[in-house]
Structure 1
Amino acid sequence: MSLQVRPYRSDFEETVKNLSHKAWILFKYNQDYNHQRMSCVFNEDGNLICVGYLRHGIADNHDVFEVEMPTNELALNRMDEVRAALFPTFMETCQKLRNPNKKTKLVAWKDFYGDRAFYEEKGFSPFQTYYIARRSLEESIPEVRTPVGVNVQYHPMESREERIQYTELENQFYQGVVYRSVNMLEWMMGGPELHTISAFEGDELVGSVMCWQTGAVERLFVIPRWRNKGLGRVLITKGFEYHLKNGRNEAETLVHEQNKEAMSLLESMGYTFHVKLVLMSMDI
């Protein structure tokens, strides 16, 4: 008897929650996932061992569907079977949700689920390379001055208008697998901790960074006319200070290999780049 793949149903909710809190809370509260189908993989004993779904991103010239397939210990020795069982469902979902007028890419992080050979056999090839950048907060933090003409502060985004404005500006700098929707932002704001620090010139949002309880200092952006004035360093430093205040001893972020400007800035702030992640993709 082989693994069984079943569409998500409401009576699976507690089982999914036990396997992956992230998947459960995404499908329960993030409105982006109402139109997407989660696939549940069960073993021969009727135990849930994996849930598979796709995260939808948008770039200028193509749509992106990123593979997510959290598992539990019952799947550890059966990942080849799990991938083979879910792959047809992923393809079907892509075809159902894709924009027929745009190129579509199905992408997967080879480091997340092992076996690069499986993806290569299906027609995937290397697409993008990222690094996880880390910085010890036990080392001294450089002193920086906020540029004249800008105010840096906590940004709670209490109104939907503010959240729409923030998302539209942020997505000018982050697309593809890191694209964010207003629904995604609102879902994250409803979680245990998202602390956003933003820079304003008068009432205009000109830069920002986000902090998470994991120690992440991520999603840094500064609009072009405020670059090369030290504002990025100020925002990162404010992130360090926030995490130190909350008892964390390390900060990390994800950076694209080709974003040399960002890598140089992070290196100047004491980050190192020890973990390399390769994103594999295939055209649909």
Structure 2
Amino acid sequence: MSLQVHPYCSELEEAVKSLSHKAWILFKYNKDYDHQRMSCVFNEDGNLICVGYLRHGIADDHDVFEIEMPTNELASNRMDEIRMALFPTFIDTCQKLRNPNKKTKLVAWNDFYGNGDFCKEKGFIPYQTYYKAQRSLERPLPEIRMPVGVDVQYHPMEYKEERINYTELENQFFQGVVYRSVNMLEWMMGGPELHTISAFEGDELVGSVMCWQTGAVERLFVIPRWRNKGLAKFLIAKGFEYHIKNGRNEVETLVNEQNKEAMKLLESMGYSFPVKLELKALDI
């Protein structure tokens, strides 16, 4: 017998929750996934061993669908079979969800969950390169003053209008697989910890950074007229302070290799770049 692939349904909720809490809450609570299908892979004994779905993003001239394939221990020796079983459903989902007026790319990190040959065979080519930037908080921290003219504070975004404004501004600086909708932001805000620190000039949002319980200091952006004034460094430093207060001794973020300005900024704040991650893409 071979592996069986079935679409997600409410009867599978507990099994999916046990395999991947992230996948379960995405499809249960994030409205971005209302129109999408999650594929559930079962072994010959009827046990769920993997779920597959796509994360939708946008870039300047194309749509991006990022492959997600969380598994459990029962899948460890069967990844080749799982890839073969799920790949047609990924292609089918891309075709159904894509904007017919734009190019579409199906993307996978590094080697498609352990098999570079599979990527090559299916026609994936290099798309983007990222580095995982890391910094120990046990090392001395820089002393950076808040620039004159802004107020930096915790930003709970309690009202819908605030969340819409934040998302519209943020997406001017982040595109591709890291694209975020208001639905995605609201979903993340419902989790155990998302701490957003923002800078305001009067009532205008001019910069921000997000902190996660994982130790992430990410999604940093500063509008052009406030750059080169120390605001980005101050926001990062406030992120350091937040994580130290919560007992963490290391922070990390992802940075695109092409974003030399961001890499230089992170390096100046004491980050190193020990891990290189490659995103491969297939034109649909």
TM-score after normalising by structure 1: 0.99
Question: Counterpart of 2:131 in structure 1: which amino acid?
Answer: Y
Question: Counterpart of 2:184 in structure 1: which amino acid?
Answer: M
Q: 1:111 to 1:237 in 2, by over 3 A?
A: farther
Question: Counterpart of 1:10 in structure 2: which amino acid?
Answer: S
In 1, the alpha carbon distance for the partners of 2:120 and 2:236 equals: 38
Question: Counterpart of 1:32 in structure 2: which amino acid?
Answer: D
Question: Counterpart of 2:24 in structure 1: which amino acid?
Answer: W
- List per-residue Cα deviations over 1:229-257 (Å, max 9, x = no partner): 00000000000000000000000000000
Worse-matched range after superposition: 104-113 or 87-96: 104-113
Counterpart residue number, 2:10 = 10
After superposition, residues 17-166 of structure 1 pair within 5 angstroms as 17-110=17-110, 113-166=113-166
Gaps spanning 5+ residues in structure 2: where? none
Counterpart residue number, 1:253 = 253
Question: Counterpart of 1:115 in structure 2: which amino acid?
Answer: N
- Give the total of aligned pairs: 284
Q: Give 3-state SS (helix, strand or coil) of 1:60's partner.
A: coil
Q: Give 3-state SS (helix, strand or coil) of 2:177's partner.
A: helix
In 2, the alpha carbon distance for the partners of 1:221 and 1:184 equals: 18
Counterpart residue number, 1:208 = 208
Worse-matched range after superposition: 105-114 or 3-12: 105-114
TM-score after normalising by structure 2: 0.99
Identity %: 83
Counterpart residue number, 1:234 = 234
In 2, the alpha carbon distance for the partners of 1:19 and 1:86 equals: 17
Question: Counterpart of 1:140 in structure 2: which amino acid?
Answer: P
> Is the 2:111–2:119 contact (alpha carbons within 8 Å) kept by the matching residues of 1?
no
Cα distance, 1:112 vs. partner? 6.3
> Is the 1:57–1:175 contact (alpha carbons within 8 Å) kept by the matching residues of 2?
yes
- List per-residue Cα deviations over 1:193-242 (Å, max 9, x = no partner): 00000000000000000000000000000000000000000000000000
Q: Give 3-state SS (helix, strand or coil) of 1:113's partner.
A: coil
In 1, the alpha carbon distance for the partners of 2:111 and 2:94 equals: 22
Question: Counterpart of 1:67 in structure 2: which amino acid?
Answer: I
> Is the 2:147–2:231 contact (alpha carbons within 8 Å) kept by the matching residues of 1?
yes
Q: Give 3-state SS (helix, strand or coil) of 1:176's partner.
A: coil
Cα distance, 1:76 vs. partner? 0.5
Q: 1:111 to 1:60 in 2, by over 3 A?
A: same
> Is the 2:107–2:280 contact (alpha carbons within 8 Å) kept by the matching residues of 1?
yes
> Is the 2:64–2:106 contact (alpha carbons within 8 Å) kept by the matching residues of 1?
yes
Cα distance, 1:117 vs. partner? 1.1
